[in-house]
């Protein structure tokens, strides 16, 4: 299972780490981030970073904050995040565009091990087969992104859109697999 760090704009793979299939995706995230920063700092300091939920770790968030990096990381939907979602009033949910089919809200939670506050941008969408899942998980599916983008710089929806561009990495993975014969 590869762990790959990309410079999105070029698209250049900065760091690659091929791991055994039994290694936790969350393991070594801080060291991996440091390797990526070291490689990019030859040109300029790392300004922005986005990652999936494997990187949702206080030590990594604290280091990104210390280095003044704007970051967005898929949040684990643990008990605390679910409590934040459940506590949002109905008026907090807004459609970013009329008729888009989903709603967005934001919240500022607390995390004991992080040194700075951050915000959650939360997208909720009605489940297409609500009756099938409603008893266990409720009528909505949620996507939650933690970030340090100030509200005046990026709306919750803009954070979600920017964060979702990390999906471009799947095309880089496909190129690595097929283009270099590493299937």
Residue 181: the pLDDT is 64
Buried b (16+ CB within 10 A) or exposed e, 124-159: beeeeeeeeeeeeeeebebbbbbbbbeeeebbbbeb
Domain total of the chain: 1
Give tens-digit pLDDT for 115-168: 888 999 999 998 877 566 555 667 889 999 999 999 899 999 999 999 988 877
Q: What is d(CA 96, CA 105) in angstroms, rounded to the nearest whole number?
A: 10
Give tens-digit pLDDT for 59-73: 999 999 999 999 999
**CATH code at position 163:** 3.90.350.10
Give tens-digit pLDDT for 88-102: 999 999 999 999 999
Residue 130: the pLDDT is 58
**Domain membership of residue 27 as a residue range:** 2-179
176: pLDDT strictly greater than 60:
yes
Closest C-alpha to 155, from 116, 119, 101, 130 = 119
Higher pLDDT, 150 or 113: 150
8 A C-beta contact, residue 124 and residue 142: yes
Helix or strand run (H / E) with residue 131: helix 130-137
């Amino acid at each position: 299972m590869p762990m790959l760090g990309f410079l999105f704009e070029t698209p250049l793979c900065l760091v690659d780490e091929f791991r055994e299939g039994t290694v936790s995706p969350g393991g070594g995230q801080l060291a991996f981030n440091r390797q990526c920063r070291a490689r990019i700092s030859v040109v300029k300091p790392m300004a922005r970073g986005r990652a999936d939920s494997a990187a949702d770790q206080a030590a990594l968030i604290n280091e990104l904050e210390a280095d003044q990096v704007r970051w967005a990381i898929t949040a684990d939907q643990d008990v605390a995040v679910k409590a934040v979602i459940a506590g949002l009033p109905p008026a907090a949910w807004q459609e970013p565009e009329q008729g888009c089919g989903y709603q967005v809200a934001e919240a500022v939670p607390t995390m004991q091990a992080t040194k700075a506050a951050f915000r959650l941008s939360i997208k909720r969408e009605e489940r297409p087969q609500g009756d099938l899942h409603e008893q266990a998980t409720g009528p909505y599916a949620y996507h939650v992104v933690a970030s340090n983008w100030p509200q005046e710089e990026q709306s919750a929806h803009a954070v979600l859109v920017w964060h979702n561009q990390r999906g471009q990495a799947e095309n880089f993975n496909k190129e690595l697999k097929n283009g270099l014969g590493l299937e």
